[in-house]
Each structure stands twice: as C-alpha cells, then as structure tokens.
Amino acid sequence: MKYLLSLCFVFIAFNSFSQDFNYGSATHNDNDFDRKTIDSNANAVVLKEFGTARLQLDEATGRLVILFEYHVKIKIFNKEGFKHADVVIPTYKDDNIQEYVQDVNAVTHNYINENFVQTVMDRKALFTENRSKYQSLTKFTLPNIKEGSIIEYKYRIQSPLIFNFRSWYFQSDIPKLHSEYLAYIPANFNYNVSLRGFYKLTDQKAEVSRECLRLSGQALDCSKMTYIMKNVPAFIEEDYMTAASNFMSAMHFELAEEHMLNGSKKSYTKTWKDVDFDLVGDKKLGSQMKRKDVFKEIVPDLIKESPDDLSKAKAIYNYIKKQIKWNNYYGKYSEENIKNVIDSRSGNVADINLSLIAALSAANLDAEAVILSTRENGLVNKLYPVITDFNYVVAKVNIGEKSYLLDATEPLLPFGLLPLRCINDQGRVINLKKPSYWIDLKADQKSTTSFVLNGKLNAEGKIIGNLSTTYFGYAAFNKRREIKKFNSVDEYFEKVDERLNKTKISNHKISAVDSVEKPLVEVFDVEFSAHDGTSKSQFYISPFIVSRIAKNPFNLNDRTYPIDMGAASDERIVINIELPEKLNLQEKPKDMAIGLPNNGGRYLLQTNLTDTQFSVNQMLQLNKAIYGAEEYLYLKEFYSKIIQNQKTDVLLKASN
C-alpha cells in the first residue's frame, strides 16, 4: 500500500511538472481517429503535440540555455503521408555557440490483428548532417510505416540562443488536433510574447511554478505559461504571397529585459530609444556607418566632376555597386569591417550598404541606414522593437526635400529603386544622431512596359513592320537581367527570334542595356502572317498580336490570403497597321473600358479604322502592389473579361 502511494505521488509530481502525454503507447482513439472530423483530405494528422521550454543553467559553460522538449504523435492515413515519418531537425551553430539535439526517441505503432505492435527506431536510423558552417541537420526516419500507422517521437534541444526563447508553430502543412506549448519563464526575465496568424488560441493559462530555476544558489520562481490550440487546419500556400510565416499561426518571443540578482536591470528591447542607442553603437552596424575615414581618399576623386549633391550621390552609388560584389548573404550586420570589404571587394548586404552610407557621408551627404525585413522573411512587429525581425539594411540619402532608398547589391538597379525583395511594408530609419522612425517601403516606380508596332499588311496576308518596346522601372530591371543571361545582345535576339514561332525578327537594336538610369528600349523589325491570304475580299485578323494575355493568372475559385504583386504595373500597346487597300471594318472586338473597384486597376481597348490606317490601343494598369483576398474574384473577372474579348478578331471586307 505504501509502495502504491509513493508510486502515485511520483506520478502526480511528474504530472504537475508537465502535462505531457505518455510516451510509447497508442490508444484505440488514436487508431480509430476519423480524419473527416478535421479534414477529409489530410494525408496525415497531428493527434497530439506537446512542447516545453525552460531556461536552465548549463553546468559545463555556466551559461543560461533554453531546454526545449518536443513530443508528437501523428497518424498517417496514406502513402502520401509517409513523408511525415522522415524528420529533419535543423539546428544552429557557429564558431562560438552550438545547439544540441539530445535524446531522440521514436516509435511506430501499427494495429495488427487487434493488437498494437510497436517498432522502436534504431540508433542506426539517426543521422547528423553537418550541412554548412552555420547549420546542422539531425535526421531520422521511422521504421515499418504503413497506411494507418501512428508514429510518435520526442527529442530535446539545448540551445544557447535565449533571446528568442523558442517559437512555437501551431500550424504546419498537416492539420493538428491538439497543439500545446508550455513555457517556463523565470520571474527575472521579461519576454515580449506575440501570437501571429489567422487563428485564436483555444485556451491559455498562466500559473506560478515555484523554484523552477537556481541561479548563483538562489531559487527563482517562473511564470508557467500554457498555450493551447485545437483543431488547427493545415496551412496551404498560395501564389502571389509573401512569407508564409506572416500567416502561419505561431507564438513568438523576444527577450525584453532581465533583472539581475544584484538588483540591476538589463534591458534588451524596450523602446526604440534603447534600440537606437544599441544599433548606433554596434560595432557591426553604427560603427561601420561612421567610417568615413575609409573613403576619404577615394571619394573626392569620385565626385570631383559632380556639380550637385544628387550627382555626387549617384557617382558614389555607382562606385560601390561596381566595386563590391554581393556574396548573396543577407544581413543587417556587417560580417567584415568595411575597410576589409573594400579590399576584398566582396561582402554581404550590410557590408555593401553600410559602406555606401559611409562613403556618402564622406562626401558630406546626409545618409541614414534603413533596417528592414525582406518579403520572404515576413513582417516586422511594429508595436515594440523586435530587432531579430530585421534581416536587411539599405541606405537612405536625403538631398534637399527628397530622399532616395538605395541598395548597392544589384548592379542592374537604377539609383533610387529597391529590389522587390525589400518592398515589404515598412522599414526603420537609423540615424547616427536623431531618433529612429518608420518609413514606407513602397515600390518607387511601377513596372511599366510600352509597345509600339507600326506595320503594313501586304496582299499575301503578311504584316511587315517595326516593333519598339520601352521598359521602365522593375520591367527594365527584369529585362536587363534577362539580357545579361546572354553573352551578347546578338545571342539574346537570336533566342528571341527562335522563341517567336510565327514571327521573324531582324535589324534588332537595343539601347541603354548598361545605362541603368535610362529606360531600356528594344527595337526590331517583324514579319508574320496575319491571315492566310487566300481570300482577298474579306478576311479575319487578330488585333491582339503583341503581349496577348493567354492565361488568367487568377484562375482559382477562392483565396485566403492577400495577393501581393510587389509593385504596381502599367502596360500600353499601340498598333498601327497600314492596309493594302481601302477596306471596311465589318466586325471588331468591342471597345472596352473596365476597372477594378477602388481604383485598383483598369483596362482600355480601342480599335479604329480611318481610311487605310487600322489602329489598336490598349492599356492595362494594376495600381496596387497588394490586393486583399476579397479582391481576388474581381481580379479574376477582370482578366476573364479581357481574355474573352481578346478571343475576337477583326473582319475586314473589301468595299465593292
């Protein structure tokens, strides 16, 4: 009896320590679970998922670490769901610190002949892959997976990265029945906690857990926070979407302050004022912005022929673009100091753009830094500073009343245009002397394309003419990138010619490929069949011979998330065809003028015949960079109407 009692006691103690479910057993409820109750299309479902994170002193290093324990049970319904039995746990490492994965246990439960048969995963099935300098992958796969298997695994991660505590994702690519997270936060630590995504917590609880952590012999109490979400649908990505993390339901943490045992307080992120102070003083950010000295010899030479500040800024921007090559790494912090960057001629985003700021300052221009989060990195928290949200930095130069945002990582960008990856809501301007502030990161220019085709229709039904295309803004940037993929402009046109199946092109010319400040103009002669020439008295021709919309980009029936196009766009098409003789316009597509609600965009079409001049004018504008999910069906219908109309031809008839 006594024995039983103590056993009970142990059990209860364990239970109050954590409400984790028992490892290693499957129930009939698990086995009989009908996916129809949550999502009849699911290939696998998380039955239960439980995580605990706590701060602990690592005896070996004397450092505080996060101890994160994870335990999950997943039901696999079909072969498509087998991939959930292959698990990858990424962990961070660098020269100084490392995260460790420990105590991985996994078991497969199969219900065979009215019995649960368990197959425990071998140590042999566990691998650690040293992926790169900064990442390790712990990988394992579960044995004996069949349709209907229940898999269960648990592991522990010890991480020295205490700043973000440990984020918890309630949502993943399969539905979850029950997802529960328990965070033990010591009373002397203050974390800012935020819930992202579309779904609300089903339940949350705050309790006190006594003496959960001992530091320097002193016992500390913890807030024991429980967050529960039930019946969470799978997250499904859609086209034209920014980072999935903006929309996926998850709990995020950021260390705000730490109360030291001696009574002092260490603030991590509290107000922008504190952050400004830290960033301006940071060796990898503010200090690098200040290094005018690196450029004091080069800059006077660069700007000696510049009459005004704007042309000085342009000269310096062009110099940095040419001088330093981007190593394809993002970052708001410089990896090297910028002196080395100038010597090695290579660096990450911060190396390059902080160099640019220092160089602009060396020319006595008013330059600031703008830290931001790229589109795939998600949105930043605007309620309070969450410095780890930012992953990129660009320069801002103020000249007179105007200011320009500059990114010198892409040689093909013109002055004042940011790459699309940076166009993501707002960034924070960091000034060496003044308080920081928010700035809109909007596409400064539209993606604009304008086509002009002048040609003659001959008696055989061929149109011979000249097509001139002008690209501005992002359209020019993208086109330049495409052309640069070829060794020479001739080879580019050779490809264009081979790609256009029904059109022959010749006498191509292109201007301003390398003068990125100017619009890009592409001109060539074209020759193609408009009709087969068998009937001279009456024939159909299509007026939509340039940039015809073949496919509706919004073809689906519904939409959950906003539609993010990056930048507004504008396309104009002007076609003038000289006819071989006077003809009558017997039939033609209806002239159109349609728009999207709230001035979201419009499309105009006009066809005309005067004498022997046949002309077509089209304009397609999309005025917004981001459309709400509720606007999807308008966009769909808008494009559908255009496509519908573009199916009609013009019937020309000889006047008898």
Residue ranges binding another protein (CB under 8 A): 40-42, 78-80, 82, 86, 119, 122, 125, 127, 129-133, 139, 141, 143-146, 322-325, 327, 344-346, 411, 484-487, 491, 494, 497-499, 501-502, 540, 551-552, 555-557, 586-590, 639-640, 643-645, 647-649
Minimum CB separation of residue 592 from another protein in Å reads: 12
Question: Which residue's CB is nearer to another protein, number 402 or number 590?
Answer: 590
Beta carbons of 316 and 306 less than 8 angstroms apart: no
Beta carbons of 226 and 204 less than 8 angstroms apart: yes
Beta carbons of 547 and 451 less than 8 angstroms apart: yes
Minimum CB separation of residue 264 from another protein in Å reads: 42
Would you list the DSSP string of 525-561? EEEEESS-SS-SSEEEE-S--SS---S-S--SS--SS
Would you list the DSSP string of 449-509? EEEEEEEEE-TTSEEEEEEEEEEEHHHHHHHHHHHHTSSSHHHHHHHHHHH-SSEEEEEEE
* Cβ count within 10 A of residue 293: 10
**Residues with Cβ < 8 Å from 196, sequence gap 6 or more?**
245, 246, 247, 248, 249, 250, 251, 252
Q: Give the 3-state secondary structure of residue 595.
A: strand
Minimum CB separation of residue 504 from another protein in Å reads: 9
End-to-end CA distance of the chain: 115
Question: Which residue's CB is nearer to another protein, number 165 or number 561?
Answer: 561
Would you list the DSSP string of 637-653? HHHHHHHHHHT--EEEE
For residue 89, what are its two tokens? Answer: 């746990």
Question: Which residue's CB is nearer to another protein, number 79 or number 265?
Answer: 79
Minimum CB separation of residue 92 from another protein in Å reads: 16
Question: Which residue's CB is nearer to another protein, number 135 or number 164?
Answer: 135
Minimum CB separation of residue 654 from another protein in Å reads: 18
Minimum CB separation of residue 508 from another protein in Å reads: 14
Minimum CB separation of residue 325 from another protein in Å reads: 4
Minimum CB separation of residue 112 from another protein in Å reads: 12
- Max distance between CA atoms of the chain, in angstroms, equals 115
Beta carbons of 296 and 342 less than 8 angstroms apart: no
Minimum CB separation of residue 280 from another protein in Å reads: 29
Rounded CA-CA distance 632/553 in Å is: 10
For residue 35, what are its two tokens? Answer: 């996916």
Closest CA to 119 of 105, 129, 131: 105
Question: Which residue's CB is nearer to another protein, number 24 or number 553?
Answer: 553
Question: Which residue's CB is nearer to another protein, number 110 or number 424?
Answer: 110
Torsion over CA: 91, 93, 99, 103 (sign): positive
Question: Which residue's CB is nearer to another protein, number 204 or number 340?
Answer: 340
Rounded CA-CA distance 463/526 in Å is: 8
Minimum CB separation of residue 3 from another protein in Å reads: 38
Closest CA to 167 of 264, 257, 250, 43: 250
Q: At 57, which helix (H) or strand (E)?
A: strand 44-58
Question: Which residue's CB is nearer to another protein, number 129 or number 211?
Answer: 129
Beta carbons of 647 and 578 less than 8 angstroms apart: no
Minimum CB separation of residue 590 from another protein in Å reads: 7
**Residues with Cβ < 8 Å from 2, sequence gap 6 or more?**
none
Question: Which residue's CB is nearer to another protein, number 617 or number 645?
Answer: 645
Would you list the DSSP string of 278-346? HHHH-TTTHHHHT-GGGGTTHHHHHTTT--SHHHHHHHHHHHHHHHSEE-S--BSS-SS-HHHHHHHTE
Question: Which residue's CB is nearer to another protein, number 145 or number 394?
Answer: 145
Question: Which residue's CB is nearer to another protein, number 221 or number 494?
Answer: 494
Q: Give the 3-state secondary structure of residue 36.
A: helix
Question: Which residue's CB is nearer to another protein, number 18 or number 552?
Answer: 552
Minimum CB separation of residue 586 from another protein in Å reads: 8
Question: Which residue's CB is nearer to another protein, number 174 or number 520?
Answer: 174
Rounded CA-CA distance 628/565 in Å is: 11
Q: Give the 3-state secondary structure of residue 32.
A: helix
Minimum CB separation of residue 232 from another protein in Å reads: 17
Rounded CA-CA distance 106/23 in Å is: 9
Question: Which residue's CB is nearer to another protein, number 262 or number 534?
Answer: 534
